[in-house]
Amino acid sequence: MKVLVLGGSGYIGKRLLETLANASLDRLTGASRGLAVSPPSGVDWIKLDTCNVSELKTVLQNFDAIVNCVAGDARSIAQGTKTLTDAARQAGNPRIVHLSTMSVYGPVEGNIQEETPLNPGLGWYGRAKIEAEHHIGDYARKGGKAVLLRPGCVFGPNSELWVGRIARWLRAGRLGDLGPSGDGWSNLVHVDDVCQAILSALRLPINPGKVPVFNLAAPDSPRWNRYFIDLALALEFTPVRRINQRQLQLDGLLAGPPLKLMQMVSKRFRWPASSLPDYMTPGLMGLWAQHIHLDSTQASQHLELVWTTYTAGLRSSVAWEGKQAINVGKKDRAACTR
């Protein structure tokens, strides 16, 4: 099988290339429209604009399957997926494994299975992902083969979103035990489990016109409060603060807008933004309180996943974050001696 990974320079894409490099594929290629990364041994790399139909069509003719890990803004997600499916139809209908998200379920609560109606109520990201799923469904109805994966919060080594910034908030005392505001289910899933699910999806038998859909969240994934406390204790960010809802809301209300503006300015003028504190969004605070529990039974059965335990996932996350903190400390000390 010849496989192309779109979004190969991203968090999941880079880890996926490492996983698939050991999967005895006929050919494995990573792609991104940005700067090239250093791919694993035996992996090819191309620069590719996923919103260019003619360019995509030419490239896709050389592959049996495409893994769509493209992230970014609403256009990259929604329009990029439409462009992908249009080009794939013209290139002989290669299989598409598409990475979606739990955000397509919106603000609902309870035990969520794949048949749960999609809800765009969480903002632009969820709406873009829902639109992308519709394009994948249309591709299958017109003769293509596709698999949809809906991961929860992907953590593990190199996870800036769910390990790095959480650790920084804990270190700064801006996050801790949130009480009722942190009692929602985390739906954490280890990055290696997502990669294994993609590998299984590449080989999964598919009935014509059908799109298999799978939630991805570890069955032993804890509530957010437990994750915050466990991560803080493992990193020795103690004592762990108890933060009430008003404190959390004030952080988002007072610090959020100026920090977001500063990051936008830094990006516009290409200034280094790594020293800026992370801002908390209302949507993120809502997620920590949302009692949504992804049911991943279908993934366990049909993709035959052996889930990374929460304890093992936490351990690998802490090991990576510890190295990050050491590196930051070295840079700070070097700056002070100049």
Please, what is the average pLDDT of the chain? 90
The pLDDT of residue 250 is 86
In a domain, residue 21? The reply is yes
The pLDDT of residue 281 is 87
Please, which pLDDT band fits residue 197 given cuts at 50, 70 and 90? very high
pLDDT at 170 over 60: yes
Q: DSSP letters along 150-182, please?
A: EE-EEESTT-IIIIIHHHHHHHTTS-SB-GGGG
The pLDDT of residue 282 is 87
Say which CATH number the domain at 29 has. 3.40.50.720
In a domain, residue 269? The reply is no
In a domain, residue 261? The reply is no
In a domain, residue 174? The reply is no
Calculate Rg over the CA atoms of the chain. 20
In a domain, residue 329? The reply is no
Cβ partners under 8 Å of residue 318, min gap 6: 231, 234, 235
Please, which pLDDT band fits residue 71 given cuts at 50, 70 and 90? confident
Count of structural domains, the chain? 1
The pLDDT of residue 256 is 61
* CB atoms near residue 254 (< 10 Å): 10
Q: Give bridge partners of residue 28 from the DSSP assignment.
A: 3
- Strand segments, DSSP code E, in the chain are 2-6, 27-32, 44-47, 65-68, 95-99, 110-112, 146-151, 153-155, 188-190, 213-216, 292-294
Q: What is the DSSP letter of 293?
A: E
Q: Give bridge partners of residue 155 from the DSSP assignment.
A: 190
SS3 140: helix
pLDDT single digits (tens) 183-196: 999 999 999 999 99
d(CA 163, CA 221): 15
Question: H/E element holding 308?
Answer: none
Q: What angle do CA 15, 18, 23 make, to 5 degrees?
A: 125
Please, which pLDDT band fits residue 329 given cuts at 50, 70 and 90? very low
Please, which pLDDT band fits residue 279 given cuts at 50, 70 and 90? confident
Q: Tokens for 55?
A: 């360019």
pLDDT single digits (tens) 198-257: 999 999 999 989 999 999 999 999 999 999 999 999 999 999 999 999 999 888 776 666
SS3 65: strand
Q: What angle do CA 324, 216, 4 make, to 5 degrees?
A: 75
pLDDT single digits (tens) 49-61: 888 888 899 999 9
Cβ partners under 8 Å of residue 225, min gap 6: 177, 178, 179, 182, 183
The pLDDT of residue 41 is 85
Please, which pLDDT band fits residue 335 given cuts at 50, 70 and 90? very low
The pLDDT of residue 272 is 57
Domain residue limits at 146: 2-157+187-219+292-308
In a domain, residue 336? The reply is no
In a domain, residue 202? The reply is yes
In a domain, residue 268? The reply is no
pTM of the model: 0.91
| Contact criterion met (CB below 8 Å) for 150 and 114 | yes
pLDDT at 330 over 90: no
The pLDDT of residue 4 is 97
Question: 23-37, 177-191, 277-291, 318-332: which has the minimum mean pLDDT?
Answer: 318-332
d(CA 224, CA 73): 26
The pLDDT of residue 325 is 60
**Could you tell me the CA-to-CA distances from 246 to 263, 290, 295 in Å, in that order?**
25, 17, 32
